[in-house]
Amino acid sequence: MNVVDVIVKEDYCIGCGVCAGICPSNNLHMDWSNKGELIPNSNDKCKVKCSLCLDICPFNNHTTNQDDIVKLLFEKVPKINYNEYAGYYLNCYVGFHVDEEKRIKSASGGLASLFLSSLLEENVVDKIIAVGNVGDINRIFDFKILSNSDEVYSCAGSAYYPVEISRVLTKIIKEKEELTYAIIALPCVVYALRLAIEKIPKIKKKIKIIGSLTCGQLQNRYCTELLALESGLTVNSLSKMDFRRKSVKNSASNFLQVAMDKDGTEGIPQPYQELPFFLWHYQFFKQNACNYCDDVFGELADVTFMDAWLPEYVKDYKGTSLIIARTLLTKSLLESSDELDLNEIKIEKVLESQQGIIKKKRILLKGRLYKKELNNSWYPKKRVNSDKNIYNKNKEFIELTDEIKELSKYLWPKYRLCSSTNEFWKDFNELKSKIKRYENKTRLKNLSKLPVIYLKKVFRGLRW
């Protein structure tokens, strides 16, 4: 029994690749599924009674969950604070890289790249593990081992694309050099790594710093292919994708997504907020595992980076970062740098900036768990409980997005090699109508609340 028999079979695999990277019998290898997702495949060479892959899978049931791990990691840090959603934190910051060129080339304010670079410059670690473009038509992005600041900044930006870490993990486990590493990854990968660290002493010895990015969801590779085709490049010519190109004409939240071929020819830039049906909101191509993640802020990481999605910052197209520091080392490195414009910010503002993700991962998740129970389906144990009322209140959205998620993955292989996305969208005509009906209902519901909200404000004013 391994992850293929349980997690992949039940469609909860996020494709992180930690299982394949640490498999003692080299039984697992990562490859693309017919849904455009990276999943482990088995070579049928499992050792008898070996359960290591299940023991470290972030979407399996564990006797030790994230809350237990964070207590061991951070509870005894002097002056540490705790928040239900963000976990433990020493300080929260808002800021950006003072080098404007580096700031603009990054996803938000450039502070993640600056922090990773400082770890090398201060000799805290020998190498950095981060995701970067590799230009391979089969794997546009992948985890890379970086040795200097230039390499770190070459990986600046976001990769809304499936990546897996098996190759890198295998390398650092097998290497004879006494090298140390820092890694930055999504919360699910961080959870898997923390579980693996407790099982494999060599990983614990080598991985010294773990950083995280906040994450609302991860789309499969088909989403990137659709963006390329929308921009005028064929799928087979796609070599690179800039998911977060900034434009002085747009706000920080309406960044451009630009596809490029192997010759460097760019397609027509696609503004994030003007894509068909707002792809991310309605969960086109979304990986199912993301609907069952309850970690908003990478709680198990030493430091977490995110965009400052707040009104006072989002208008600045150059981008602004928010940071949660959980260790004295990360706090010290951030506060001592003269390359960043940094200010402290209250945890409440950090939570406000990620309200949409909190709703997905801590509220809507309760409704999705209830739906699983209605269908007598297995699901990994989470830190929130199923809730019938939340399901009933959000049933239309949950059912609609589940339908879109599955249909988009089913239809795209039929049209991915076409010269345009027209035929793909034609097959979504029925769902287009459902989306419009849902949006109209939501709009009317919100309008019906306005008089009540207004009256409350009036009466509140009268009391003063």
331 in Cβ contact with 91 (< 8 Å) = yes
- pLDDT tens figures, 256-300: 999 999 888 999 998 888 877 678 889 999 999 999 999 999 999
pLDDT of residue 450: 61
Give the domain range for residue 442.
431-464
Is the same domain home to 198 and 300? Answer: yes
Same domain? For 341 and 459 the reply is no
Q: Angle 365-374/388-415 helices, nearest 10 degrees? A: 90
455: which 2 tokens? 């009256």
381 and 406, same structural domain?
yes
Whole-angstrom distance, CA of residue 188 vs CA of residue 145 = 20
pLDDT score at 223: 95
pLDDT value for 447: 75
Q: Do 239 and 212 lie in a common domain?
A: yes
Is residue 26 in a domain? no
Domain count across the chain: 2
- pLDDT under 50: residue ranges of the chain: 455, 458-459, 461-464
CB distance 105 to 318 below 8 Å: no
The verdict on residue 30 lying in a domain is: no
Looking at residue 449, what is its pLDDT? 66
Verify that 333 and 460 share a domain, yes or no.
Answer: no
Domain membership of residue 20 (yes or no) is: no
pLDDT score, position 353: 96
pLDDT of residue 457: 53
Verify that 370 and 416 share a domain, yes or no: yes
Q: What does each C-alpha distance from 409 to 6, 107, 189, 416 come to in angstroms?
A: 21, 27, 23, 11
Give the per-residue pLDDT at 453: 58
Looking at the structure, tell me whether residues 443 and 411 fall in a common domain: no
In a domain, 43, yes or no: no
- Identify whether 37 is part of a domain: no
Q: What is the pLDDT of residue 135?
A: 76
Do both 88 and 154 map to the same domain?
yes
Residue 318 in contact with residue 107, Cβ under 8 Å?
no
| 10 lies in some domain | no
Report if residue 24 sits inside a domain. no
Question: Is the domain of 380 the same as that of 460?
Answer: no
User: What pLDDT is recorded for position 280?
Assistant: 87
Residue 464 has a pLDDT of 36
Question: Please, how many CA atoms are within 13 Å of residue 56, restricted to the half-sphere of its CB?
Answer: 25
